[in-house]
Amino acid sequence: MSLVLIDILIATVPLMLIFASLFAFTTWLERKALARIQNRIGPNKVGIPCTRISLFGLGQPAADGIKMLFKEDIVPRGADRLFHLLAPILALIPAMLVLCFLPLEFPWTKSLLPVQAFLLDGAVIFFFAITGLNTLAVFMAGWASRNKYSLLGGMRAVAQMVSYEIPLVLSAVIVVMMVGSLNAAVIADAQTGFNWFVFSPWGFAAFVIFFIASLAETNRSPFDLPEAESEIIAGYFTEYSGFKFALFFLGEYIAMFAISGLAVTLFLGGGDGPGLANAPWLSVVWFIAKIFALIAMMIWLRGTLPRLRVDQLMGFAWKFMLPLSILNILVAGFAWHAQQQDSKTITVITWVISLAILYGTASGLNQLNRGSARPRKYKYAE
Amino acid sequence: MSILGGGIFKGMAVTLRNFVGSYINKKERLTTNDYSWRPDGDLPQGIGDYPKEEGEQLSDTTTVTNYSRNFPMLLHDGGEPMDTVRCVACQICERECPPQCIYIEKDYDENGKYIKRPAVFDIDVSVCMSCQICVEVCPFDAIVMNSQFELSTPDRFGGLLVRRDDLLKSNDYYHQIHPEEAAARDQKMAVEKAAKEAKKKAAEEKARAAAEKKAAEAAKGDAE
């Protein structure tokens, strides 16, 4: 019994440590990248304490963390104290929990008893079920703060997350259909040898939809309406300070890792990459490198795109992403049947046709949705 | 018909250009750290590292450009500051200051006679917005902008209220930090002074002429 407990600890504690330290690194990376995009330098002072070694400001996350720990924890007078406390914890736990379902093959978990949680057969379903809890945490924070900005942010978050959950799940369905399994490890194994799902028309479309929806799910720019600083003053965590705020921040970044990890598992071949035959431990490195590639993309997009309006956000989810992802499921279904024929010509034809269908539908939907959004005409000022 | 999502890629290309450019072309991109005025004309190695080297003086105003202006200072013409201070405590700047951050009291000698200098001259730099209006309205060229930027203090109230004795800076210092402006101001003052003296001389001459005339008339009257 106690042996199983130790095994569980060996399997999970490094996971939490690794991702928590990656979180610290990512905050630094994001601040640096955004600064450079805006022609600034970014954090570059804090390094090793009591020396003048600055290490490109890599000590900044640690300094921020210590600062957060020592800050006063302010709870508004009218707030619901219990839920105000619970919300940041609830924001962090699901994000941490789903990390277990990523098929990260750490060398030290190989020999363990079957505590590898990712062997769970319904991992993909479980992933979505648990990340769905995040919405609850955000709304709880907005409600418990007794602040109109927070409540607005919370309501925006619920609307956004519920809307974008659908294209997110529907694009993941394609991979599940193709592999015939919900097990994350099986899905990753099915893509070995650069047989990644992103290298097919339907897979690529699904990946793009998944990536955009995951931006919205993790409240990243350009879909950061729930925490729009310029409109509703950080939204649902307006009233959070000190370590509770840090927990929200941590939860948000861990959720980014988790959902990028799922995208890597589903579309980018999991831990697949060159050099695996000689060094199997490289699979973890490849996995995390792919996660970081997606995170870098998120940072880049954040530095580029302005925030959407609420109606644009909703319209994009329901009028563009949802029809496209449903059509993509149909295309993928036909493609699966075509692939069963095991003939080169049929495969090529399927590729061409599905590419044409998907691109045509996407641009058609784009044209349809333009609708009233024409260039503004001035009546008097010309 | 443009490619779907082309606008996003265009925007991303712009940000990528800025990102890469800030590493390659520091001088042009990282404009907040402008060291191009330096004699060697090149950026120091640890760009943006501040304070730059160990032992380098923190509030060294010579490390900023000649065009930097932060907060006002009072000028004196060298020697004992309060003997040569240009300010006469006319309080024009106090009245014109938009955020009302200047406080002036006139100085009186023991007989209660007004001597033309300030007894108190405080500037609250936490309120000052560096608008330079005080500099423009001053008829005595007594208040000009300093470029000192190291003003952080552990005292929130007293530390940000700069007193008269700390505001007083010599004209030489002014020449050192803002050479062009100081030279122009000195020239302007010299011209004004010359004009004033010429006027005074003319007035004196006139008075003397009038007196001579009067004396001549009086002499004439006496003769009659």
Give the DSSP letter of residue A374. Answer: P
Take residue A178 and report the two structure tokens written for it.
């193709």
Q: Does A312 touch chain B (CB under 8 A)?
A: no
What's the whole-number mean pLDDT along residues A15-36? 87
Take residue A129 and report the two structure tokens written for it.
């079920």
What's the whole-number mean pLDDT along residues A247-271? 88
Is A219 within a domain? yes
Mean pLDDT of chain A: 83
- C-alpha radius of gyration, chain B, whole number: 27
| Cβ contact A301–B1 (<8 Å) | no
Residue A4 has pLDDT above 60, yes or no: yes
- List beta partners, residue B102: B123
Is A378 within a domain? no
Predicted confidence at residue A119, as pLDDT, reads 65
Predicted confidence at residue B1, as pLDDT, reads 46
pLDDT digits (tens, 9 = 90+) for A72-111: 888 888 888 888 888 888 888 888 888 877 777 776 666 5
Residue A352 has pLDDT above 50, yes or no: yes
Contacts of A39 in chain B (CB under 8 A): 18, 21-22, 29-31
Take residue A5 and report the two structure tokens written for it.
């407990």
Å from A24 to nearest chain B CA? 22
Is A375 within a domain? no
Q: Measured between alpha carbons, how far is residue B219 from residues A209, B93, B206, B208, B209 in Å?
A: 112, 53, 19, 16, 15
Neighbours of A122 (CB within 10 A): 13
What's the whole-number mean pLDDT along residues A176-190? 84
pLDDT digits (tens, 9 = 90+) for A111-134: 555 545 446 778 888 888 888 888
Contacts of B18 in chain A (CB under 8 A): 36-39
Q: What is the DSSP string of B81-131?
A: HHHHB------HHHHH-TT--EEEEEEE-TTSPEEEEEEEEEEETTT----
Please state, in angstroms and rounded to a whole number, the distance separating the CA atoms of residues A95 and A131: 7
Predicted confidence at residue B224, as pLDDT, reads 65
3-class SS of residue A207:
helix
| Cβ contact A359–B4 (<8 Å) | yes
Domain around A238: 2-49+56-367
Å from B176 to nearest chain A CA? 30
What's the whole-number mean pLDDT along residues A161-189? 87
Q: Would you list the domain boundaries of chain B?
A: 1-56, 71-177, 179-224
Is A339 within a domain? yes
Number of domains in chain A: 1
| Cβ contact A39–B4 (<8 Å) | no
Tell me how many degrees the CA angle B13-B19-B21 measures, rounded to the nearest 5.
Answer: 95
Nearby residues of A48 by Cβ (< 8 Å), 6 or more positions away: A55, A59
Residue B39 has pLDDT above 50, yes or no: no
Helix A242-267 / helix A123-131 crossing angle, nearest 10 deg:
150
pLDDT digits (tens, 9 = 90+) for A361-371: 888 888 787 76
Nearest CA in chain A to B6: A363
pLDDT digits (tens, 9 = 90+) for B117-162: 899 999 998 899 998 899 989 888 899 998 877 777 888 888 888 8
ipTM comes to: 0.76
Predicted confidence at residue B38, as pLDDT, reads 45
**pLDDT more than 70, % of chain A:** 93
Which of A139-153, A309-323, B50-64 is predicted least confidently?
Answer: B50-64
Predicted confidence at residue A207, as pLDDT, reads 92
What's the whole-number mean pLDDT along residues A232-260? 86
Contacts of B14 in chain A (CB under 8 A): 304
Q: Measured between alpha carbons, how far is residue A157 from residues A143, A224, A256, B65 in Å?
A: 12, 9, 16, 47
Closest CA to B121 of B90, B155, B156: B90
Q: Does A362 touch chain B (CB under 8 A)?
A: yes
Report how far apart the first and last C-alpha atoms of chain B are (Å, whole number): 112
b/e sequence B11-36, b meaning 16+ C-beta within 10 Å:
bbeebeebbeebeeebeebbeebebe
Q: Which of A41, A54, A359 sits opposite B30 (nearest CB)?
A: A41
Question: Contact A233/A151 with Cβ under 8 angstroms?
Answer: no
Is A376 within a domain? no
Chain centroid offset of residue A323 CA: 22
Q: Please tell me which residue, A168 or B222, carries the higher pLDDT value.
A: A168
Contacts of A362 in chain B (CB under 8 A): 4
| Cβ contact B18–A305 (<8 Å) | no
Task: Give the pLDDT band of residue B64 (cuts 50, 70, 90).
Answer: low
| Domain topology for B71-177 | Alpha-Beta Plaits (3.30.70)
**pLDDT more than 90, % of chain A:** 9
Å from B62 to nearest chain A CA? 22
Residue B52 has pLDDT above 70, yes or no: no
Residue A347 has pLDDT above 90, yes or no: no
Q: What's the burial of B6, exposed, middle or buried (CB within 10 Å: 0-12/13-18/19+)?
A: exposed
| Cβ contact B49–A304 (<8 Å) | no
Q: Measured between alpha carbons, how far is residue B114 from residues A10, B92, B164 in Å?
A: 84, 17, 18
Q: What is the DSSP string of A169-203?
A: HHHHHHHHHHHT---HHHHHHTTTTT--GGGSHHH
Is A221 within a domain? yes
Nearby residues of A325 by Cβ (< 8 Å), 6 or more positions away: A166, A167, A170, A171, A206, A209
Q: Provide the number of CB pairs (under 8 Å) joining chain A to chain B.
A: 48
Predicted confidence at residue A189, as pLDDT, reads 80
3-class SS of residue B4:
coil
Predicted confidence at residue A116, as pLDDT, reads 52
Nearby residues of B105 by Cβ (< 8 Å), 6 or more positions away: B89, B118, B119, B120, B121
What's the whole-number mean pLDDT along residues B15-30? 80
Question: Contact B146/B75 with Cβ under 8 angstroms?
Answer: no
Q: Please tell me which residue, A35 or A41, carries the higher pLDDT value.
A: A35
| Cβ contact B11–A305 (<8 Å) | yes
pLDDT digits (tens, 9 = 90+) for A270-296: 777 777 777 777 888 888 899 999 999
Give the DSSP letter of residue A38. Answer: T
Residue B103 has pLDDT above 90, yes or no: yes
Is A347 within a domain? yes
Task: Give the pLDDT band of residue B195 (cuts 50, 70, 90).
Answer: very high
Put simply, the chain A residues between 5 and 44 with a CB less than 8 A from any chain B CB are 33, 36-41, 44
- List beta partners, residue B85: B76
